[in-house]
């Protein structure tokens, strides 16, 4: 068992225990860094979320979910809008 607080009766820590403690500390640091990076990424996405972009993303998702004749009609509609805007 590895413990940083209770080093046993001799008060000494073996090299193997120190290496294991170093590996654990490194993995913990990597996990903390990854968690912080993810938190910052989500915060950035939340700040940049333009309501118009969010509505557009919902529309795109709804169009992509259509099947069959409705999907074909949606494709024609999008093509007509592209022609109109060109």
Domain residue ranges of the chain, discontinuous segments joined by +: 13-48, 50-86
pTM: 0.43
At 8, list the tokens.
């046993």
What was the pLDDT predicted at 52?
65
Per-10-residue mean pLDDT of the chain, 86 residues long, equals 60 79 90 86 67 72 85 87 82
Query: Would you call 13 exposed, middle or buried from its count of C-beta atoms within 10 A (0-12, 13-18, 19+)?
Result: middle
The pLDDT of residue 23 is: 92
pLDDT computed for residue 50 by the predictor: 66
Confidence (pLDDT) at 14:
79
Question: Cα torsion at 46, 48, 52, 56 (round to 10°)?
Answer: -70
């Amino acid at each position: 068992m590895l413990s940083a607080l209770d080093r046993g009766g001799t008060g000494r820590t073996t090299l193997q225990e120190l290496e294991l403690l170093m590996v654990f500390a490194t993995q913990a640091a990597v996990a903390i860094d990854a968690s912080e990076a993810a938190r910052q990424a989500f915060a950035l996405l939340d700040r940049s979320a333009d309501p118009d972009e969010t509505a557009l993303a919902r529309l795109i998702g709804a169009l992509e979910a259509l099947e069959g004749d409705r999907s074909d009609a949606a494709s024609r509609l999008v093509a007509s809008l592209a022609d109109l805007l060109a």
